[in-house]
Amino acid sequence: MTTAAGRMSLNKSTRWRPVVIAALAGSVATGCAVSAFVASGVLRPTPSVLASVGGLLGLVTLIVAVAVARATRAAGPQRLTLATWLTLARGWLLILFVGVVVGDGASGISWLAVGLFVGSALGDMADGWVARRTDTVSALGARLDTETDALLVLVGTVTVIAIESAPLVFLVVGLARYGFVAGVAVRRIRDKPLFDLEPSRFRQFTGATVMATITIGLLPVIDPAVSRAIGWVVTVPILAHFLWDWLAVSGRLD
């Protein structure tokens, strides 16, 4: 006979199983990719490269754990689907991107780094399409996709600013989503009303614009003066849109 303690233990192990599987798969995938890059001579296994890859792998695993915990509380036990694996792969590409960027150092951004970033960005369309086609849309998939997008934007903005291909003010774009989430958390703690955001095509356009701006800043063939100018141009409307969403979610708009 299964005891109550046994059932609780089983529920906990089932809940965290996706996190363990994702962490192991991510370690193997990124480890093999880094080994292949080193063997082919495109990457040197310096301490800074290994530390950046290991650190971001730990951060991605933490994001997966938080996503699983919140999705489970909202919708019950979660499982990894094909679409979710694609989202995880986007995170692993981002880890490799950071490793290659750190490895490039003063030599500038290589085409390999650009390809890894673009692959992670374009994967945003693939995982959603697969989830809808296979009827596996889930709370975990949606939350993990959102967190991966946010991390991708933050890492991308920091990178283009570091290589002087975007103005420092562009960093606010990378931090905007985290500021928005922090504001929502403060209102929830203070027991203030919160309202759902309506679906918005402009929100999708804004996300695509940010990714395009970062990609332009990464391209070795683009004059940094041009990409910096583009960064200035897109920053204001993007932040204005975040402000509009904040006014909506906080009930300041009819």
Instruction: Give per-residue pLDDT as tens, 163-207.
Output: 999 999 999 999 999 999 999 999 999 999 888 888 777 777 888
Q: How confident is the model at residue 254 (pLDDT cuts 50, 70, 90)?
A: low
The answer to the question of residue 135 being in a domain is: yes
The answer to the question of residue 254 being in a domain is: no
The answer to the question of residue 82 being in a domain is: yes
With beta carbons less than 8 A apart as the criterion, state whether 217 and 117 touch.
no
The answer to the question of residue 175 being in a domain is: yes
The answer to the question of residue 214 being in a domain is: yes
Cα–Cα nearest to 22, from 122, 178, 181, 148? 148
Residue 135 has pLDDT above 80, yes or no: yes
Q: Is 30 exposed, middle or buried (0-12, 13-18, 19+ CB in 10 A)?
A: buried
The answer to the question of residue 52 being in a domain is: yes
Residue 108 has pLDDT above 60, yes or no: yes
Residue 78 has pLDDT above 60, yes or no: yes
Mean pLDDT across 90-114: 91
Number of domains, the chain: 1
Residue 12 has pLDDT above 80, yes or no: no
Domain that holds residue 151: 4-249
User: By percentage, how much of the chain surpasses pLDDT 70?
Assistant: 94
Cα–Cα nearest to 44, from 103, 113, 107? 103
The answer to the question of residue 210 being in a domain is: yes
The answer to the question of residue 68 being in a domain is: yes
**What pTM was estimated for this model as a whole?**
0.90
Across the chain, mean pLDDT equals 89
What pLDDT is attached to residue 228?
96
User: By percentage, how much of the chain surpasses pLDDT 90?
Assistant: 69
What pLDDT is attached to residue 13?
58
